[in-house]
Amino acid sequence: MGLGWQGLSIPLPEDWNLAAFSGDWGSGYVRAEGPGDSALELKWKHEKSSPSLKGLLKSYLKQLHKAAGRKKSEVSLKEKPKALPSVPQGSGVSQTFSWQSGGVYGIGAVWHCLECRRIVLVQVTALSEMTANALARRIIPKIGDHPEGDLCRWSVYDFDFTVPKEFRLEKQSLRSGHLSMEFRHKGRTVVLERYGPANVLLKRDRLSDWATAVKPIFDRLKPYKYKKETVEGEPGHDAVRLSGRRKAVKDLLRRAGLWMIRMQPPDALRARVWNCEPSNRIVMVMVEARPRDVEALTDRIAAGVRCHTGEPERDSAAS
């Protein structure tokens, strides 16, 4: 699956994982790590005008020299290395480079995408030149710097799903046993969570009871008056559906006021919680949107979740 993050698609080897991240859709940084001290680092930012890639590379070289100076080693830099003849398709201007310092080998590229206007600087590092070159050829030319179509794929720690690309990540918690990511756009909220291992969490509870009692979901449900139903899912996916509306007096007053002018507030809740037996994980999709939109949006997002390796996108009717 690789790594999907903030509109970027990075085809990492299966035994690699996200190690650090910062920033947002406009600009940021990710680092992924693999075995044997191999790593990938990627920075991005939006820039409407065409930048000087040589200037960016020169600035980056200064950073490398500064870091090497602290370690009392030297940096040897090359432009346009033979090991990396190309960068992702569709990029505008681009520049490739390689370097070596203190027994560490790096190879990377910087480019400015003419479609999404992102500047991307990426490098892979390893303790051998052969490994660095092989990783660079495998990963860098296949990096996607923006979503294709109207959906954005996110993939981290084998949690793989899509949301409409206009939604922006507002909150995240990536802990062992509980991944949670919250997205927002124009008053609408989308939350995707994964819990595990399911056989431990459901050892004493049925999924229908657990789904509204576990604290993170319980806390999210407090503002709503909701109903719950158990449905037959696809094989290996027992499921629970939740639906409701916000219940506070201020929400009722707002709803009544907007009804007078034939408008709807984004206060309707839909959620899907299912147990994925192949991955031994529990997945939750929760959406808050206008009543006329919430069902279709929830089904669409649930259909884009791939909760175990090798699974095709889910059929929304079975979600």
Give the per-residue pLDDT at 57.
78
* Structural domains in the chain plus CATH codes: 3-142 (3.40.1000), 151-318 (3.40.1000.10)
Residue 151 carries which side chain, given as an amino acid letter? L
Q: How far is CA 153 from CA 44, 254, 289, in A?
A: 17, 34, 21
Strands ordered across the beta sheet of 188-195: 168-175, 178-185, 188-195, 281-289, 268-276, 237-246, 224-231
| Chain segment 135-151, per-residue pLDDT in tens | 999 999 999 999 999 99
Give the per-residue pLDDT at 25.
97
Give the per-residue pLDDT at 319.
37
Q: Which residues have CB under 8 Å from 135's CB, separation 6+?
A: 38, 40, 107, 124, 126
Which residues partner with 69 through β-bridges? none
Give the per-residue pLDDT at 236.
59
Give the per-residue pLDDT at 54.
77
Residues of the chain with pLDDT under 50: 315-319
Give the per-residue pLDDT at 69.
61
Kindly report the pTM of this predicted structure.
0.88
What token pair was written down for 38?
A: 């191999």
Distance CA 160, CA 231 (A): 23
Q: Which residues have CB under 8 Å from 192's CB, separation 6+?
A: 159, 161, 163, 180, 181, 283, 284, 285, 286, 301, 305
